[in-house]
Structure 1
Amino acid sequence: MNISVELVPRTEKDLREELQLIKNNDFPISLINVPELLRFDIHGWEGAAIAQEYEFETMPHIRALDIDLLNELPMKKYLRERKIKKVLVITGDPPQSMATKVYPTISTDIISKFRQEMPEVKVYAGIDQYRSSMRQEMYQVRRKLQAGATGFFTQPFFDMRYIEMYAEMLEGLDVYWGISPVLSENSVSYWKIKNNIIFPKDFEPTLDWNINFARKVGEFVERTGGNMYIMPIKADLAKYMGSVFI
């Protein structure tokens, strides 16, 4: 089982501190994911290059909306110079300000573009199990595979029954199963409204509940085959991961 953790590149200093924390605590992390977020100055691929300095395998997120299909991939030279061999392609959320240039590009377009321009790079794609029906999401999975996706990263799960259903549908694929601690009522509301999350009846926005659930997911993934994708967001990284990986 490979375990990936997402580190948000708020500043270079913050990112380096989190990378050093993971290194110092010897957490069993084999891959660092770095998202591409418009509100921060550091690109995902720049954050990924920083993570390489700490001897981690890295995977920057690539937003399809940011890429003009008429031009070459803008990060191509950078990825090759830093020998970054994996990327996660997502569609991306539209910017709040229309002053930011975006394009009507979808993730399958960019997966195909990587296959054409950078065939040496393994391209992973996202699964948003809350976006639509399972039938529609599985159709998107097939389209992404056809475009050249190597594997998938899911949105966070909060219910083992839902994971088990998707695990049956995705059997045989390289999947990183997402988890993310939700630790306040405000966060619960955000996930419900923004991402259409349905929490199970026993859910509690506490560190203990989230740690116990993360352990259950780890046991399931280790038993059935697959990988884990941890999005700690605002959680205390040392406390959360230290409790999950005891």
Structure 2
Amino acid sequence: MPRISIELVPRGEAAIREELELLKNNFTCIDLINVPELLRYELHSWEGATVAKEFYREAMPHIRAIDIDLDKPLPMASYLVEHKISEVLVITGDPPQDMGRTIYPTVSTDVIRKFRDELPHIKVYAGLDQYRSSMRQEEYNIRRKIQAGAAGFFTQPFFDLRYLEIYAEILAGVEVYWGVSPVLSERSVNYWESKNNVIFPKAFQPTLEWNIDFARQALAFVKKQDANIYLMPIKTNLLPYLRGAFAK
């Protein structure tokens, strides 16, 4: 069955618990919480996912490939098993600003294979970045990740339904969580354009109304496609955004 996921930042156990309580008390349509691994916070994604599992049956931590030493066992493996976390999302990860932190030249396909070999019962999703390069190159990246063992994909957020429809054709028959994220300031617009190479449609406006309307369009589209969606309301007041997005 198609699933709706919400991405919650693990700022701390108390903070994520508060957001989870808000979601659980106000929205019955949410199936899954996915939790990014962010170096500026002490709480690991898998620890945040464990908190989320107190509220939801499924929670999915993000695993950064550049944090994984291929010569050693997966460092979070026993934790995932102990806490019955059955799904993960493997991404490449951005290099840390603090260069004193150890990272590795590991790519996501390496880690997907490592999960397949060491924790074959865990379902592994991979990232899809539709802005990183050409469609041809990204289609090749998709094939490589599937061959490595990826069961499905999480996209970068979309802001244009026409672009989403093109990728839906490319990924026909593949399990996908289509990403949507509100962008509510010119500073955020500049971030997405300069860091992630996003081209916003001409009609785009960094307003709550525009972003709610787009989220509702995306939800309607994935429902027709019998696909999944994840909403990433980072730095956004959860209640008004999600109430608008989920309104019938």
Category of TM-score, reference length = shorter chain = over 0.9
**In 1, Cα distance between equivalents of 2:103 and 2:28:** 37
2:148 aligned partner: 147
Moved more, 21-30 or 86-95: 21-30
2:117 aligned partner: 116
**In 1, Cα distance between equivalents of 2:39 and 2:21:** 25
Contact persistence 2:128–2:153 (CA under 8 A): yes
Contact persistence 2:8–2:36 (CA under 8 A): yes
What is the CA-CA distance between 1:97 and the residue it aligns to? 1.2
Contact persistence 1:64–1:110 (CA under 8 A): yes
Task: Give the CA RMSD over aligned residues.
Answer: 0.6
2:126 aligned partner: 125
What is the CA-CA distance between 1:224 and the residue it aligns to? 1.6
In structure 2, give the amino acid aligned to 1:153.
F
**Unmatched tracts of structure 2, length 5 or more:** none
1:186 aligned partner: 187
In structure 2, give the amino acid aligned to 1:76.
A
SS at match of 1:232: coil
In structure 2, give the amino acid aligned to 1:23.
K
In structure 2, give the amino acid aligned to 1:232.
P
What is the CA-CA distance between 1:106 and the residue it aligns to? 0.2
**In 2, Cα distance between equivalents of 1:150 and 1:122:** 7
What is the CA-CA distance between 1:27 and the residue it aligns to? 3.8
SS at match of 2:88: strand
Contact persistence 2:4–2:228 (CA under 8 A): yes
Note the alpha carbon deviations across 1:210-231, whole angstroms, 9 max, x for none.
Answer: 0000010011111122110110
1:244 aligned partner: 245
Contact persistence 1:7–1:32 (CA under 8 A): yes
1:41 aligns to 2:67 (yes or no): no
Task: State the number of aligned residues.
Answer: 246
Contact persistence 1:180–1:232 (CA under 8 A): yes
SS at match of 1:153: strand
Q: Percent identity?
A: 64
1:86 aligned partner: 87
Moved more, 132-141 or 54-63: 54-63
In structure 2, give the amino acid aligned to 1:146.
Q
Note the alpha carbon deviations across 1:103-139, whole angstroms, 9 max, x for none.
Answer: 0000000000000000000000000000000000010
What is the CA-CA distance between 1:238 and the residue it aligns to? 0.9
In structure 2, give the amino acid aligned to 1:242.
R
Note the alpha carbon deviations across 1:126-179, whole angstroms, 9 max, x for none.
Answer: 000000000000100000000000000000000011001000000000000000
**Unmatched tracts of structure 1, length 5 or more:** none
Output the TM-score relative to the length of structure 1. 0.99
1:173 aligns to 2:198 (yes or no): no
Note the alpha carbon deviations across 1:42-63, whole angstroms, 9 max, x for none.
Answer: 0000000010111331000000
In structure 2, give the amino acid aligned to 1:236.
N
**In 2, Cα distance between equivalents of 1:56 and 1:235:** 24
Note the alpha carbon deviations across 1:66-99, whole angstroms, 9 max, x for none.
Answer: 0000000000000000000000000000011110
**In 1, Cα distance between equivalents of 2:133 and 2:94:** 16
2:212 aligned partner: 211
**In 1, Cα distance between equivalents of 2:90 and 2:113:** 11
Contact persistence 2:31–2:56 (CA under 8 A): no
2:13 aligned partner: 12
1:104 aligns to 2:68 (yes or no): no
What is the CA-CA distance between 1:26 and the residue it aligns to? 2.5
1:158 aligned partner: 159
Contact persistence 1:61–1:88 (CA under 8 A): yes
SS at match of 2:25: helix
